[in-house]
Structure 1
Amino acid sequence: MQQPRPAPRLKAALDQIGAWVLDQPVPQPLEGQCCDRLRPHQIRRELLQSLEASGLGSDNVVEWRWDARQGQARGWLWQAGALQRFRWWRHSGQLTLHEQLHCITTAPLHALT
């Protein structure tokens, strides 16, 4: 028993769709934007645990993103008046910090009246 062949118009439409799909460019890897696709929940949990184990509070994280190709998270921490850039490697748990900005608090300004 032979399977029915699609109608000629349907076959032509299917061929065009197949050619269109194959002609589409391969999407670039996710980089740049800070969205949940770049900050997977499991990675976040492991990162925060690693920060706690290193003596840094997990509430100090300002922003971070995950780089799946390199297996590392990069971002910013705020601790004791300093903004620090960090890198954390998931496979080894290694954490590096680089101070970027150190803020000093002074007395508030007083208006002269």
Structure 2
Amino acid sequence: MWSHSKASFSDPGVVLQPKHNLDFSNNQIDTNAAMLENGVRNREWSICSKCETYRPPKAHHCRICRKCIRKMDHHCPWINNCVGEFNQKIHTVALLVEALLFGIFVTAVMTDQ
């Protein structure tokens, strides 16, 4: 249960919103210049059309959480949280523990006949 709770309440890797509003009016003209101007040096960074903020490579917007998540895998309904860069390992541990407990339960029921 600890691993399930940890996966549920841990930060999946939410991309933080900037403290000041970003100007995307010249986005069509010169994206690289605008990114360098705002301190973003990696050309693989992109702009989220939903959050309207810069996001790192492999970050995706979750339509349920309404946030961009680093290395997002999926939004898990069982933990009611996204699975991303920071909680993917604990989510995998939670799944393995739950599968092991289910296997023990099924074995106990089958041998009790």
TM class, shorter-length = under 0.3
Whichever of the two has the greater Rg, that structure is 1
Give the TM-score normalised by the residue count of structure 1: 0.21
Give the TM-score normalised by the residue count of structure 2: 0.21
